[in-house]
Structure 1
Amino acid sequence: MQRRRKQVFPLPYYQGRTARAAGRCRASQPYPEMTVDSAWWLGGWHDCDIELTDEPKNHPIAPAAQAA
């Protein structure tokens, strides 16, 4: 059985993450601009860019490195 992660941040943060995973653009955020909720939503939306993933790190070797 999988344990659910504990929510640490406010709900708008997780809504932003979900929107990013669904491929929605930044302009689709539901909160008025310059509010705390809009900042949390955008924070969640942007965090997907900087997170580490569990994907294997088998990057192909660059052609320049192979020639050396």
Structure 2
Amino acid sequence: MKRAANLYTSIATLDNLRLAFCKAVRGKHGRSEVMQFRENLDDNLALLQLQLVLQKPDIGHYRFFQVRDQCH
């Protein structure tokens, strides 16, 4: 299998990021997060592009929790 190198620069084009946004919001147009992101879409996509080029995207913040199963 052939490997592709340096994908960040090809992924980080503004056209590709705009297409990804359009695909991601399908069926979610009324959500507050989508409307908030869309208000400054160009700035948000430019910031995301910069983060991808620098290979340091700030994509999500996870919450860790413990699941305790008492059914033994």
TM-score range, shorter chain: under 0.3
Higher RCO structure, 1 or 2 (CA under 8 Å, sep 6+): 2
TM-score, length basis structure 1? 0.27
